[in-house]
Structure 1
Amino acid sequence: MNLNTNEDKTEQPTEHHIKKFQKKGKTRYSRELNSLLILISGMLGLWFLRDQIFVQFSQIMHNSFCFDKKTILLNEKNILFNLFLILKKILIIFFPFFLCLIITCVFPSILFSGIKFGFKSFQLNFKKINPLDGFKRIFSKKILIEFFKIVLKLLIITCIFLLYLKIFFNEIFLLNTKNIISASFCGWNFIVSFCFIIISGLIPVVLLDVIWQKWAYYKKIKMTRQEVKNDFKEQEGNPYVKMKIRQLMKLNLRKRMIIDVAKSDVVITNPIHYSVALKYDMYKMNAPKVVAKGVGDLAIKIQRVALKHKVPIISSPLLSRSLYRYSEIGHYIPGSLYKAVAEVLAWSWKVKKWRKEGGNFPQEPKDISIPSDLIYTGETKK
């Protein structure tokens, strides 16, 4: 909610704010541009299909006036059948033309005007049918601009029509002196050329409308400073919800860690306050990886899971604290600790062999050396 309604909208809109506007159906859509593209597409379609249209319509006209009176006029079914054939031919002739128009209606509006399809713009809004609001919209700035555009287009088309008629009046007047085919081709050329001149005359109006729509759109979606703050808060979400999400993520990570402890090769302990579980596969890994680590109650739980699944546990306070401080779960251990960890892993493999073959229990490695820069005294976490 905007707390200061009188505050000026001076801030640039955020991406989140623009997306919300687009979902509501509010875009920089220019109807004039879309109308111009439809006109151009339609005229080009008629121009390239002119020979086919002229030939097909000539055949239709010829077949319509040349018929057998007995079989056609006296039989109602034949009349309907011939009418159906004529309509079918017309549809076939104009199918590419209509297809071109449909494509022009849809795709340019999406590409150039930034239209996003949504259902919010189709929702029922009783404010739109309020007579008072409707009366205000009639005399709004937007309606006045639309009225000015219509008057300007009518003025341009009228001027072009009068000038074109003045220049080609004699040629148009003499069309009745030519045969049907020649007059038809000449008339077609006059119509098409006139339409293209009209379209050319409307291009400046369309350009002005595109610039105006873009300017009005960005002016409308500008934000106040308070709106920007509220938008960032909305994107960041409720702090309570975020805290709950973080708690769930930590809980899932802890569950995953406990599962991975059972698959580890060795657990290095403090022996009470710190526990770090390592795994190493010489054929798949470049170095040992930390699969779980914890302090306090979590450290105790890691040791219990290790005991349950017969994972070797070794007490090495300096190494366990260094691994806890300078390594991350799922990552390789620091290179400086390779030698110390190698001694521990060698012992764990001997323990696994002892469990299979028996004999004397392997002696734990003593005086495991830790580089001075990785010695971590740590703090006990309960």
Structure 2
Amino acid sequence: MNHNVNEEKTENPTEHRIKKFRKTGKTKYSRELNSLLILFFGFITLWWYKDSIVSRLIKIMSDSFSFDKKIILNNDYNLLNFLTYLKEISLIFFPFFVVLLCVVLIPPIFLSGIAMNFQSLHCSFNKLNPLNGIKRIFAIETIIEFIKITIKLVLIMSLSYWYLYTSVSEMSVLIYENFSSSLLHGFKILFNCCTVIIFGLIPVALFDVCLQQFKYYKQLKMTHQEVKDEFREKEGNPSIKVRIRQEMKASVRRRMMLDIPKADVVIVNPIHYSVALKYDEQNMHAPKVIAKGVGAVALKIQMLAMQNKISIISAPSLARSLYRYSDIGQYIPGPLYKAVAEVLAWVWKVKKWKKEGGVFPEKPKNILVPSELNFKGDR
């Protein structure tokens, strides 16, 4: 099927399209927003634990500047000190790394709907093609990303330079303060600098969020032909479904024909409709339809009935009603019990006549069908 590749995408995405996009890893995820959240929560955590960090750093530095003969004479002692300081530094920054890990993982999943995508991990030699790499380098999206990174770097450098330049006098007095006070004061200066940077990056993050939303929904948009193709894919090809239904009907018809020799009677109209019934007093609480058909199928049912010496009775109204309101393999409707009972009583007399002889039993006439089930049919 030839599709118009220039067809405009004007249709809203279907739920199937959205799920398919998510499986391939295509989402409205904003890297700039995630970077801003990492920066914000990271520095909030450092500020919250600043007293603990400063006290531990003071202890580490004071221990480092206390000299002992053991430091020179015992290498194992040096290694032990190194491991101790490494442990202390790990404990200092442990809350920071925990918060950082949560910020890296949680917001992209809950805010952007990112799902695990293992399809991108499959081996593809097309990724090693240098021509594809060159195309990606000079692609519009790559150029936009480069411009965003450049703007962000210039913004961060400008804000940092501006704040540190205006804080030179404040930083110059740090050398006159005691060790712990200068550390706390330095923490405050760095925190204020980062706060300025974070507020400066908010417009960049908001712009990127809007851009990613626009790109995401633009990619999700569908052409009219894509909607039709998806519906066909979901519902199945109509021609194939018709073929399947035909095969199912043929299979049911073959099985139905095999059951006709088990029937007790075939009720006809007289050539348009045929319904074969079976009734076993011991195992059934009502007669059951084992075959039915119209036209050529009806004639075939009658022919098989004659070949197997099964009684055939013409009752047009009853035949039409049984055909319309009963299914193969199911019991007949309750309102038709009385009419069918008359037919079965005649069948019982015919069986007796075949054994004992005598006068052939008269067929029942004017079999009444309830008005609510009196199906006229189209024949």
TM-score, normalised to structure 1, is 0.68
- Deviation readout 1:7-35 (Å, 9 max, x if unpaired): 33343333333333333333222111111
Query: In the alignment, is residue 86 of structure 1 matched against residue 85 of structure 2?
Result: yes
Residues 268-325 of structure 1, C-alpha deviation per residue, up to 9 Å, x if partnerless?
Answer: 98489336899xxxxxxxxx9x99986579xx9xxxxxxxxxxxxxx99867864663
**What pairs with 1:243-262 in structure 2 (closer than 5 Å)?**
243=242, 246=245
Measure the CA separation in 1 of the matches of 2:87 and 2:339.
89
Kept in 1, the 8 Å contact 2:266–2:276? The answer is yes
- Bigger shift: residues 83-92 or 371-380: 371-380
- Offset at 1:239? 4.2
CA 1:216/1:339 → structure 2, altered by over 3 Å: closer, same or farther?
Answer: closer
Superposition deviation, residue 198 in structure 1 = 0.7
Check 1:4–1:60 CA distance in 2 against 1; reply closer, same or farther (3 A cut): same
- Whichever residue aligns with residue 112 of structure 1, its letter is L
Q: Secondary structure at the match of 1:73?
A: helix
Deviations 1:217-270 (A, max 9, x none): 22234333333333332223344653566578779999xx9xxxxxxxxx9984
Counterparts of 1:223-242 in structure 2, within 5 Å, are: 223-239=222-238, 241-242=240-241
Residue in 1 that maps onto 2:119: 120
Classify the secondary structure of the residue corresponding to 1:273.
strand
Aligned residues: 340
Q: Does 1:325 align with 2:313?
A: no
Does the aligned pair in 1 maintain the 2:321–2:373 contact within 8 Å?
A: yes
1:67, distance to aligned residue in structure 2 (A): 5.9
Specify the code of the residue in structure 2 equivalent to 1:86.
Y
Work out whether residues 156 and 197 of structure 2, in 8 Å CA contact, stay in contact via their aligned partners in 1.
yes
When residues 292 and 91 of structure 1 are mapped into structure 2, their CA distance, relative to the original with a 3 A threshold, is: farther
Which residue matches 2:3?
A: 3
Q: Could you tell me how far 1:377 is from its partner in structure 2?
A: 4.8
Q: 1:4 to 1:340 in 2, by over 3 A?
A: closer
Matched-pair contact (CA < 8 Å) for 2:335–2:370: no
Once the two structures are TM-superposed, the CA of residue 147 in structure 1 deviates from its matched residue by 2.3
CA shift, 1:107, in A, is 2.0
Kept in 2: contact 1:270–1:321 (CA 8 A): no
The equivalent of 2:48 in structure 1 is 48
Amino acid at match of 1:57: L
Matched-pair contact (CA < 8 Å) for 1:110–1:116: yes
Structure 2 residue identity aligned to 1:47: W
**Superposed, which structure 2 residues align to 1:1-382 within 5 Å?**
3-66=3-66, 68-70=68-70, 72-239=71-238, 241-243=240-242, 246=245, 270=267, 273-274=274-275, 322=321, 325-326=324-325, 370-377=369-376
Aligned equivalents of 1:99 and 1:329: distance in 2?
A: 67
1:103 Cα deviation (Å)?
A: 1.8
Name the stretch that deviates more: 175-184 or 44-53: 44-53
Q: CA deviation at 1:44?
A: 2.0
Q: 1:252 to 1:4 in 2, by over 3 A?
A: same
Aligned 8 A contact 2:339 2:368 in 1: no
SS of residue matched to 1:18: helix
Q: Alignment identity in percent?
A: 47
Secondary structure at the counterpart of residue 133 of structure 1: helix
Go from structure 1 to structure 2 and tell me whether the alpha carbon gap of 1:139 and 1:88 turns closer, same or farther (over 3 Å shift). same
CA distance change for structure 1 residues 212 and 249 in 2, over 3 Å: closer, same or farther?
A: farther
Which of the two has higher C-alpha Rg?
Answer: 2
Change (3 A) 1:292 1:29: farther
Partner secondary structure for residue 274 of structure 1 = strand
| Residues 376 and 83 (structure 1), Cα distance of their counterparts in 2 relative to 1, 3 Å cut | same
Return the offset for 1:115: 2.1
Cα offset, 1:201, TM superposition? 0.9
* Structure 1: runs of 5 or more not aligned: 258-266, 279-287, 301-314, 346-365
The range that moved more, 182-191 or 222-231, is 222-231
Residue segments in structure 2 that go unaligned for 5+ positions in a row? 257-263, 280-285, 302-313, 342-364
The 1:248/1:193 distance shift into structure 2, 3 A limit, reads farther
**What CA distance in whole angstroms lies between the structure 1 residues aligned with 2:156 and 2:289?**
77
- Counterparts in 2 of 1:327 and 1:209: CA distance versus 1, 3 Å: farther
Aligned mates of 2:98, 2:87 — CA distance in 1: 16
Change (3 A) 1:379 1:165: same
Distance 2:319 2:162 in 1: 94
Question: Residue 229 of structure 1 aligns to a residue in which SS?
Answer: helix
Aligned-pair Cα RMSD in Å: 4.8
Instruction: Give the partner amino acid of 1:24.
Output: T
User: Is contact 1:9-1:224 (8 Å) kept?
Assistant: yes
Normalised to the residue count of structure 2, the TM-score between the two structures is 0.69
